[in-house]
Amino acid sequence: MSATLLHGKDLITFQEWTKQEINMVLDSAADLKRRFALNEAHRLLQDKTLFMMFFEQSTRTRNSMEAGMTQLGGHAHDLTPDKMQLSHGESAKDTAMVLSRMGHAIACRNCFYGIGNTYLRELAEHSAIPVLSLQDDLYHPMQVIADLMTIREYFGLDLKGLKVTISWAYATSHAKPLSVPLSQLLLFPRYGMDVTVAAPKEFPLYKDLIPVAEQNAAENGGKLRFTDDMDAAFEGAQIVIPKNWGGFGNYSFEEYNAGEEACRKEMKANLEKHRDWICDERRMKLADKDVKYMHALPADRGNEVTPGVIDSPAAIIYDEAENRLHTAKAVMALTMGGRP
């Protein structure tokens, strides 16, 4: 496959990319990681401009994209609603059409439930340059591709049968979006992994995407199961990814946006029923003896995970975070690079 075929391609979710295209990103990321380690210049986007629109805060995403653009020889604009006319109601269409005439890609994070993905797709519809998702309410492609790269580094290229547990965990920091576990649920079975999702019944994932994930598993030799027993989910797992997500999946977009305050109050009440959903040393002993702990960060220490786990040799969270840089650079270089 020619890498030039990815020029100009939007990235809203990797579900809309072929495995061949995803593998091109992973291969490119590995090469860029090697070149970064050797201090080899790789200015593949010389004088290119990326517009980054953030509706929410960010550490890994903003810095991996901005540092990545600098290392690729381009420049990233860090934009927030208060710096743009978004705060005065400018439409996604107008924003996309204007920025399309000034740069080479638009990257956006908008995680508002029932709004974010729709907003990104409207940007993409009216943009003449690639639109790259930095996370929305349903998908976080930049995180999941770094997760996959990290897993391949530890477990090799053949991931068929690898036992991965994606588990809900208690947290008090905020009601986190569904997008990280949903992206993992969709992508991991495409590489033949056996994925278990554990969550209390009050914290389901977005139901419309479950059949898509099941089809991905069926077509690629993966497995997918759901449980409300965290201990059972950890048994024999080779990778555990315990992370909080809000109870947004209990509500349709219309229900949530019509009564957000009431929905959030109910989610908070449901949250307090499950303080015992923590990744601790006892649960890690239920898993495979060489189990790896992953997390997209920031982790809610003492709630989602104990210090004894997150600071242990089993944790590969900083490799995962570093790979955000290399995979982001690969996505940008391939979608913003030279024309066919």
Q: What is the pLDDT of residue 340?
A: 46
Q: What is the pLDDT of residue 339?
A: 55
CA–CA separation, 163 vs 264, rounded Å?
Answer: 33
Q: Report whether 270 contacts 247 (CB < 8 A).
A: yes
Same domain for 56 and 104, yes or no, is yes
pLDDT digit string, tens, across residues 287-310? 999 999 999 999 999 999 999 999
5-9, 67-71, 89-93, range with greatest mean pLDDT? 67-71
Which stretch of 169-178, 231-240, 326-335 has the lowest confidence by average pLDDT? 169-178
CA–CA separation, 48 vs 45, rounded Å?
Answer: 5
Same domain for 15 and 96, yes or no, is yes
CA–CA separation, 213 vs 27, rounded Å?
Answer: 24
Q: Which CATH number is 86's domain given?
A: 3.40.50.1370
Same domain for 86 and 231, yes or no, is no
Q: What is the pLDDT of residue 294?
A: 98
- Which residues fall within 8 angstroms of residue 113, CB to CB, at 6 or more apart? 137, 177, 246, 248, 251, 253, 256, 257
Which stretch of 2-6, 168-172, 264-268, 318-322 has the lowest confidence by average pLDDT? 2-6
Q: Which two tokens stand for residue 223?
A: 């497995």
Domain count, the chain: 2
For helices 116-126 and 92-100, what crossing angle results, to 10°?
A: 40
Which stretch of 86-95, 138-147, 201-210, 249-258 has the lowest confidence by average pLDDT? 86-95
Higher per-residue pLDDT: 34 or 4? 34
Block residue for tokens 């109601």: 89
Instruction: Average the pLDDT over 95-105 and give the result.
Output: 96
Residue 137 has pLDDT above 80, yes or no: yes
Q: Name 164's bridge partners.
A: 195, 239
Q: Report whether 64 contacts 32 (CB < 8 A).
A: no
Q: What is the pLDDT of residue 2?
A: 58
Same domain for 227 and 275, yes or no, is yes
DSSP states of 178-240:
SHHHHHHHHHGGGGT-EEEEE--TTS---GGGHHHHHHHHHHHT-EEEEES-HHHHHTT-SEE
Same domain for 130 and 165, yes or no, is no
Same domain for 126 and 55, yes or no, is yes
CA–CA separation, 205 vs 1, rounded Å?
Answer: 34
Q: Report whether 225 contacts 165 (CB < 8 A).
A: no
Instruction: Tell me the pLDDT of the chain averaged across its residues.
Output: 95
Q: Are strands 163-167 and 239-242 parallel, antiparallel or unpaired?
A: parallel
Same domain for 295 and 218, yes or no, is yes
Same domain for 134 and 179, yes or no, is no
- Quick one: which of 290, 167, 284, 139 has its CA closest to 229? 167
Same domain for 75 and 108, yes or no, is yes
Instruction: Average the pLDDT over 78-88 and give the result.
Output: 77
Q: Is the dihedral of CA 75, 18, 115, 324 positive or negative?
A: negative
Residue 98 has pLDDT above 90, yes or no: yes
Give the residue numbers spanning the domain of 291.
143-320
Same domain for 281 and 312, yes or no, is yes
Q: What is the pLDDT of residue 1?
A: 53
- Which residues fall within 8 angstroms of residue 276, CB to CB, at 6 or more apart? 170
Distances (CA, A) of 277 to 159, 171, 233, 263: 28, 9, 12, 21
Same domain for 200 and 305, yes or no, is yes
Same domain for 303 and 161, yes or no, is yes
